[in-house]
Amino acid sequence: MPALNRRRALRQMLAATLPLLHFVRHARADDTPRFGLGIASGSPTADSVVLWTRLAGPIEAPEVSVRWEVAADEAFTRIVAQGSEPAHADEAHSVHVQPRGLQPARWYWYRFSALGQRSAAGRTRTAPAADAAVPRLDFAIASCQRWEHGHWAAWRDAVQHPSGQPLDLLLFLGDYIYEYASAPFGVRTHAQGAATTLEGYRARYALYKSDPLLQAAHAACPWVVIWDDHEVDNDYAGLQGQGLDPAFPARRAAAYRAWWEHMPVPPALRPRDEPGGAMTIHGRLDWGRLARLQWADGRQYRDPQPCSRGGRGGSATVRPSDCPELFEPARSLWGRAQERWLHEGFSPAHPWNLLAQTTLMSRFSTEAVVPVPEAGGHATGRYWTDGWDGYPAARRRLLQALHERQVPGAVVLGGDVHANYVAELHTDADDLRSPRVAAEFCSTSISSRSWPQSAVDAALKLNPHVLHGRSDQRGYMRFALTPARLEADLRTVADARDAGSAVGSQARFVVEAGQGRPLPA
Ligand code: FE
Ligand code: CA
């Protein structure tokens, strides 16, 4: 070998070895797994995706440089983007990297390194170009992962589904954490009391994110995330906490900030310096010409629930005759500005319009309903006011908009109620001859407990537009979408107390394009 080549070979060998020596030295000095909270990606577009991590363990420095790499292959031999991003102490040493110029509809692999350690690699994906013909989208919806209520075998199934078909996208629809102090009889415990401060919320996210099955689900595909109430305070509405505490805006600002620090959302979403820490989290994305996806914020702009009890805010279960406020037309769950934005965003040009939002949209009365159409609502029945039944005028506006705009392939996706519901949405839930405007799939919880199946069975008889209702199993929903049909697989775990539990199919449904009615598959 000529001397020059030998020198070059030696240099290359040293270059390959040095990072390893570097790693070993730091690993001895500090054994804290710096990437112990995992990595994540999300908010994909056709040319970018957000990469997230947060450095764990005690860090003295106010700022740490985090290296990131994006590769076109799993072995990281073809790096397509790389750089460094500062992780700041006042952002809990989190980073939100948004590389641009990626190719549309491509799988990528990404990883981070900092403080002498390297993260595991994650896999992510860009959206297709807006004008691309797309044969298929595999996605899932999930919500409500209360730590103490169970282990998260559902996440393993999301990553290793028996079909072997990887998820292109995961929609997380709220209750990523629960703010409560620990409940008795849990399978694991919240270490501190209720989260109310920035430090408290950060610690809660760190606890949840320590779960290896959740980490694997984040590392498998990009997520689109929205929040519900428990990321802040049970049943809060806008700037009003459940306890009507005047200091609630400061609590909400802390909770929103911690949410931003821990979610794979764009750096530009960072909470604004306003009372309550305003953030714009609703959005839309075209998955080529196949589907328009919109996602909604059901908490930040909502009017308070009507007819709260006992000098508090929050939800109640009411009869309309006891709560005329229920039907006030000005009341809104999304706030009028977001409502308008979402209504106008439905696409006549896409065969499918997916609406990801937090909760069950179908009317769900727990007492018999006698319709009085001219009253603009229901004269009888019994309704839970935190969900859409607490905002019937806003729901009517949405369903009417779907009808008037003849929105093709409208599918409403939700969570929150800790039960699987499959339903058809009509402009008038009391009249199944009224136009059918959307199919609804509301997913059960990843782990949060629910009410008894006997109560659901009784309610199903009173709500014939709800085709399927199961509160007795935990899990998530998985979908395969093609131009011709939407296939839904309701994945449920056999035992939510067991991280190694088997996961199976509770039911399957199909919605044919242009039909809007979920049929058992
Ligand atoms: Fe929940
Ligand atoms: Ca909720």
pLDDT digit string (tens) for 273-331? 899 999 999 999 999 999 999 999 999 999 999 999 988 999 999 999 899 999 999 99
Q: Are residues 52 and 163 in the same domain?
A: no
Q: Are residues 161 and 67 in the same domain?
A: no
| pLDDT computed for residue 17 by the predictor | 39
Banded pLDDT at 377 (limits 50, 70, 90):
low
- What is the CA(180)–ligand 1 centre distance, in A? 12
- What is the CA(229)–ligand 2 centre distance, in A? 5
Q: Are residues 309 and 319 in the same domain?
A: yes
For position 241, which CATH number holds?
3.60.21.70
| pLDDT computed for residue 385 by the predictor | 97
- What is the CA(396)–ligand 2 centre distance, in A? 22
- What is the CA(387)–ligand 2 centre distance, in A? 9
| pLDDT computed for residue 374 by the predictor | 54
Beta strands in 380-435 (DSSP E): 383-384, 410-414, 420-426
Report the DSSP pairing between strands 291-295 and 352-356.
parallel
Q: Are residues 356 and 465 in the same domain?
A: yes
- What is the CA(349)–ligand 2 centre distance, in A? 33
Per cent of the chain over pLDDT 70 is 93
Mark which of 95, 127, 159 sits at the end of a domain: 127
Q: Are residues 74 and 144 in the same domain?
A: no
- What is the CA(390)–ligand 2 centre distance, in A? 14
- 252's CB contacts (< 8 A; 6+ apart) are 232, 233, 236, 239, 241, 276, 277
Q: Are residues 120 and 132 in the same domain?
A: no
Q: Are residues 414 and 516 in the same domain?
A: yes
Determine which of 11-20, 201-210, 231-240, 335-344 has the lowest per-residue pLDDT on average: 11-20
The SS3 of residue 270 is: coil
- What is the CA(415)–ligand 2 centre distance, in A? 8
- What is the CA(417)–ligand 2 centre distance, in A? 7
- What is the CA(227)–ligand 2 centre distance, in A? 9
Mark which of 106, 127, 148 sits at the end of a domain: 127
d(CA 398, CA 427): 9
Q: Are residues 345 and 464 in the same domain?
A: yes
Q: Are residues 170 and 268 in the same domain?
A: yes
CA count, 13 A, side-chain hemisphere, 36: 10
Residues belonging to the chain: 521
| pLDDT computed for residue 300 by the predictor | 98
d(CA 51, CA 222): 9
Range of the domain at 76: 1-127
Using CA atoms in the order 504, 148, 472, 439, what is the torsion angle rounded to 10 degrees?
Answer: -70
Banded pLDDT at 337 (limits 50, 70, 90):
very high
d(CA 148, CA 156): 18
Helices (H) and strands (E) in the chain, counts: 8, 26
- Structurally, how many domains does the chain consist of? 2
For position 104, which CATH number holds?
2.60.40.380
Look up the pTM and report it: 0.93
- Quote the longest CA-to-CA distance of the chain: 94
- What is the CA(173)–ligand 1 centre distance, in A? 10
Q: Are residues 256 and 267 in the same domain?
A: yes
Q: Are residues 187 and 307 in the same domain?
A: yes
Mark which of 98, 127, 156 sits at the end of a domain: 127
Q: Are residues 512 and 418 in the same domain?
A: yes
